[in-house]
């Protein structure tokens, strides 16, 4: 049976721009970044303590894939990222230039806030209740 989820794929316009956002802005680590024999660049980011969970940043090839950048899930969230302190992480990310599209909300299910990455992919930042 399946025991764990590994990486999810995210189409991006440029590896280096995406790397900068997901590492310098969001604080993920580069889990893997290498060019393979055929010239294909494999780039994976995520929290280093949660390997193999992460995001595979795939540079879009062709018009069909480029049209999907920022809209791979319609207007639904592409990711939900969990944090131990949503308010603190919100302030940190806001200080790094992240524009939030739905402000923080607290409920029985925890605290959450919505923002977009550099391509317009919607991301939920969530703190689960104790």
Same domain, 44 and 77: no
Would you give the distance in Å from CA 76 to the centre of its chain? 14
- Domain boundary residue, one of 30, 48, 69: 69
Cβ pair 111, 86 in contact under 8 A:
yes
Question: pLDDT band at 21, cuts 50/70/90?
Answer: very high
| Residue 124 confidence (pLDDT) | 95
Q: The domain containing residue 12 runs over which residues? A: 1-69
N-to-C CA span, the chain: 29
Same domain, 81 and 65: no
Residue 106 has pLDDT above 90, yes or no: no
Reduced DSSP (H G I as helix, E B as strand, rest coil) percent helix, strand, coil of the chain, to 5: 20, 40, 35
- Domain boundary residue, one of 69, 89, 108: 69
DSSP 63: H
pLDDT tens per residue across span 46-90: 998 877 889 999 999 999 999 999 999 998 999 999 999 999 999
| Residue 30 confidence (pLDDT) | 96
- Domain boundary residue, one of 48, 69, 90: 69
Cβ pair 46, 26 in contact under 8 A:
no
Here the tokens at position 85 are 């302190």
């Amino acid at each position: 049976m399946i025991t764990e989820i590994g990486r999810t794929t995210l189409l991006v316009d440029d590896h280096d721009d995406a790397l900068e956002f997901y590492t310098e802005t969001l604080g993920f680590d580069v889990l893997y970044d290498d060019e393979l024999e055929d010239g294909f660049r494999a780039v994976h980011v995520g929290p280093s303590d949660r390997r193999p969970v992460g995001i595979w940043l795939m540079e879009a090839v062709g018009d069909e894939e480029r049209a999907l950048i920022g809209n791979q899930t319609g207007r639904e969230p592409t990711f939900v990222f969990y944090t131990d302190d949503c308010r603190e992480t919100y302030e940190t990310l806001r200080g790094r230039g992240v524009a939030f599209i739905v402000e923080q909300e607290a409920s029985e299910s925890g605290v959450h806030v919505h923002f977009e990455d550099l391509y317009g992919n919607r991301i939920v930042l969530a703190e689960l209740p104790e």
